[in-house]
Structure 1
Amino acid sequence: MMKKTMAVIMAAVFMAASLTGCNTGNLAGTDTTGQAPDKKIIRVSESFALQTLNPHLDYQGWYTSIYGVTETLFYMDDQSTLTPLLAESAKADGTLWTITLKEHTSFSNGDPVTPDMVIRNLKAAGEINTRFADFKDYTYAVVNQKTFTIDTKKVYPMLLNDLASPELAITDLDHSGDMKSELVATGPFVVSSFEPGGTIEVARNEQYWNGRAKLDGAVFYYMPEAGTSMMAMQNGELDAYTSVTSDAAEQYRKEPEKYKLTTIPATRLQFYILNENRQNEAVRKAINLTVDAKTIEGYLNGTVSETVGPFSPTAPYGKVTKAKPDVTAAKALLEADGYTLNSDGYYEKDGKVLSIKLAYYAARSLDTLAALMQEQLKEAGIMAVLTCEEDPDGTYIATGDFDIGLFCMIADKAGDPYYFISCTLKDGAPYNCGGFQNEQVQSEILKLETEADTKERARLADQIIQTAIDENAFGYVALFNKITVTRNGVSGVAENNPFDFYFLNADTDMD
């Protein structure tokens, strides 16, 4: 433990030296703290080491978006609502989408954003990013100087949500080289210095199409250790960062005169699957009445927020309900089902103790969640036997060998409910491995797959998830929080947006 502590301290000392030395030297007028006295330069830490500036590759676009360098045709606002950005409008006629760009959009070199360049970007992303491979096969056509069409060849209402994904950022492919170390894009900032695997500096895009950025620039330092970011923040060497740990958050809360801490539910979900092939309705309902998500939220110390369904309650497709925890009601259900409480405090029937196999894997705090659920179930007289697996997809998810199967995944990938629903509730889906079957739900999923109206999509999603809750097929526990700390006087770092790929923007400011 002592060696680890010393390693963190030495890393912080080395980082502090780099902050006050050459790393900020490219920003004119920096003083001994790394801050430019005559310029607004925000200093931020990131735990991911960017190796290339190509936003189309893997998840690199998340970070060029965080840096305020790249933009997409659409974006997700703080309420998880799809909103036009570079695009002015879009409409669908069957498989044919017509998209019109805003009149004044341009790249940082002053060149206009054209339909032809947008099409080339979408195809380029499809060629190198398997998650968007369909984009290389779509049929495109330029209509006029600001309008183009995409034929998806089959009805695909989630297209615009895809176009809000940061991997589909629009860049000037003619002037960005291979995009490994240089990038011409449309965002309010431009890359001024890039060290692969290290520090990245950005400066104001003086030709930004959507108004002048309030900051002169920013420096993003690579700090993989959470403790290093905390020390740097406390030493006055950072102005903001996200992914704040619960321990660090507790410290920042003690000094409200220095720091502002913003905690909101994000999009990564902790949930469990209830196996209908092994436990009847009474037992599954008793489990759901026993698991207390609010208490679990407290034990996980601010890193998660309890949830009713898989999506944020602020999203239009997050309007579902579930019964409040009630251990007394859970016991009554079991007793009505023929169970009696034995001398050890566990329910049994026909001489057999009600023993539940709770399978989990250790990442994403699921080990802690499993232990907490075990204790809660014990209070209701249910024995939970914990089984930890390294590879859930290759073990209990694949085999169905569980009574309760814990899992964690991003539920809201791009402001649309279909991805999570299709992965967990559709017949044959990988995480519909607990025997859930409902013909009405399958019919509604088919409608959701092709429904273009956003209000109707939200209604269908709410109805589908509500059925899963009512039939005690799943238990939705908590959404991981997006925790952002800023020095007082810093504002507008997308701290209220649940998506992790937003941070720096034209409205970001500091005193």
Structure 2
Amino acid sequence: MFKGYKLLFVFILSVFILSACSSEPAEQQAEGSKKVNLLFNFATSSLDPNVNTSYVSLRAGITETLVHLNDTDLTIEPWLAESWESQDGQLWTIELRKGVTFQNGKPMDGAAVKASLERAMKDSLAIKNALRIESIEADANTLKIKTAVPFPEFPSELVHPNTSIIDVTEADFDNKPVGTGPFAVSSFTPGTAVDLVRYDGYWNGAAKLEAARFSFNEDANARSLALQSGTADIVFRPEVETLANLETLPGVKVESTSTFRVHQMTMNLERKSLQDIHVRKAVDALIDRQSIVDTILRGHAEVATGPFPSTFSFAPDYPEKKTGMEAARAYLQEAGYSEVDGIMQKNGEPLTFKLLTYSARADLPLIAQVFQSDAGQLGIDVQIQQIELPEEYMAANRDWDLTTYSNLTAPRGDAGYYLNATYHPNGALNFSGADDAHLTALIDKLNATVGQEKRSAIAEQIALYVDEQVYNSFILHPNTLVAYKSDKVLNWVTSRSEYYMLTNELDVK
């Protein structure tokens, strides 16, 4: 009986705390006002659209990019850029959309876009490496861009949220970036929420909403509770275990949509043990993918055989692998390891792994725990460390072996983004430290190739080579989960790219 009262008390307390932390400010709750509160799974301390990897400024409708991704057919299409062309893949002419203004009323012209892109490349090495721009010239609404090398897929890189166009003369990038989107920043509380107001001068028609709140909570269960308690209208990635309950609530809709994301086990190739391919194969063999999909994701995922979902033309048919405990043991024996008194060791040194994970994606810590348990049965000591900002931590620290990490692998409908970012020596997401001359040459060949059929063939080659070398292990492709109040929210679209959330079309009844 006491236990029951205690659980009830904890639930009521959770709802109270959520109401205090996630509800809209009192002055924004006037009866009849058209507003929504979207609760996101990653907290951010900065809104800087050119640097921050949570992409809140784009997702919240503050900023926009030159090029847009069509989520339906995975093609790129004009957005702030009206058109682009190149005869040789190196000299590009971009015509900007006319009549677009920033949220301070200033025109978005060639000079402003040039300054924005140059600022992005100056402050973000990842963007500098991705765009490969040698020079930019601006004349009225025309940009002349020269890339360092022929780069036929250059326009697709302009989809990236970190290439968002902002007015760089408004220098408070962290707290109040000034973009061209349908919503302007009203106030920002780092780690809690950004409050937004409609920008009436928006070039594509003023938003139907008067205001919005884009709030953060990294606790998946708390996000589910927020929807139940009414403090959130749209919840991104609610707790999987609560989905069945949420679906029974009147006026609530749950959407589970396939996406371009992969959950992977990133391997630090600078660590001595993981430089042995047999150890990497053992790690890969230990991952029980189907069990993880069935138990942790409750079926809202697809088992991954590589980085790209099977529906993509550049996802190859991989050779069958040996998996399971005995296969892992055999691989370790090939690497010179043996079990002594229940401890896997080599030359008297026990095999241990430091495994990083983070709670913003609730399934990743659970995957880490399953791997820890399975590895323990082979006498491998796995120490799990929770981190908050995976990209920053992995880039700044090399004292880890493995990381349960989630990444968008084809957000532009092309393999180039992921392969460049993850396996090229200059890649922004090359946390494994991959530096393989053969692999780099294949990626460079891909970058210089025009035409999806030819590009897909090379991308398949690369994916097969990465699989052969076991540079990372791919676990599953999770669905994007969103729950929202369908009796209130109109025109919500669950984006497969996860880029576009608060739009000018979003509305309430």
Distance 1:55 1:239 in 2: 25
Distance 1:445 1:102 in 2: 33
What does residue range 47-446 of structure 1 map to in structure 2 within 5 Å? 53-59=47-53, 62-78=55-71, 80-92=74-86, 93-108=88-103, 112-133=107-128, 138-143=134-139, 145-157=140-152, 159-173=154-168, 176=170, 178-179=172-173, 182-191=176-185, 193-197=186-190, 198-223=192-217, 225-255=219-249, 258-271=252-265, 278=276, 291-302=287-298, 305-321=302-318, 323=320, 360-363=355-358, 368-369=366-367, 372=370, 383=378, 385-388=380-383, 390=385, 394-395=398-399, 397=401, 407-410=404-407, 412=409, 415=412, 416-418=414-416, 420-422=418-420, 439=438, 441=439, 443-446=441-444
Contact 1:412–1:419 (Cα < 8 Å) also in 2: yes
Quote the offset at 1:359 in angstroms: 6.4
Quote the offset at 1:139 in angstroms: 1.6
What does residue range 12-51 of structure 1 map to in structure 2 within 5 Å? 12-16=15-19, 23-26=25-28, 30-31=30-31, 36=32, 39-46=33-40
Contact 1:358–1:384 (Cα < 8 Å) also in 2: no
Distance 1:5 1:167 in 2: 44
Q: 1:104 to 1:4 in 2, by over 3 A?
A: farther
Contact 2:233–2:485 (Cα < 8 Å) also in 1: yes
Q: Secondary structure at the match of 1:83?
A: strand
Which stretch of the first structure deviates more once superposed, 246-255 or 8-17? 8-17
Which stretch of the first structure deviates more once superposed, 386-395 or 89-98? 386-395
Contact 1:265–1:304 (Cα < 8 Å) also in 2: no
* Partner residue in 2 for 1:486: 484
Contact 2:357–2:368 (Cα < 8 Å) also in 1: no
Q: 1:200 to 1:70 in 2, by over 3 A?
A: same
Quote the offset at 1:97 in angstroms: 2.0
Contact 1:139–1:152 (Cα < 8 Å) also in 2: yes
Distance 1:263 1:200 in 2: 26
The Cα RMSD (Å) is 4.9
1:496 counterpart = 2:495: yes
Distance 2:441 2:60 in 1: 42
Q: 1:376 to 1:231 in 2, by over 3 A?
A: closer
Distance 1:456 1:247 in 2: 43
Aligned residues: 479
Q: 1:414 to 1:149 in 2, by over 3 A?
A: farther
Q: Secondary structure at the match of 1:127?
A: helix
Distance 2:136 2:225 in 1: 51
Quote the offset at 1:129 in angstroms: 3.3
Q: 1:470 to 1:254 in 2, by over 3 A?
A: farther
Q: 1:253 to 1:270 in 2, by over 3 A?
A: farther
Contact 1:99–1:148 (Cα < 8 Å) also in 2: yes
Letter in 2 for 1:465: A
Q: 1:462 to 1:24 in 2, by over 3 A?
A: farther
Distance 1:226 1:370 in 2: 17
Quote the offset at 1:66 in angstroms: 1.8
Aligned identity (percent) is 21
Quote the offset at 1:184 in angstroms: 4.1
Distance 1:424 1:11 in 2: 39
Q: Secondary structure at the match of 1:203?
A: strand
Quote the offset at 1:131 in angstroms: 3.0
Distance 2:444 2:263 in 1: 24
Quote the offset at 1:504 in angstroms: 0.7
Structure with higher Rg: it is: 1
Letter in 2 for 1:113: M
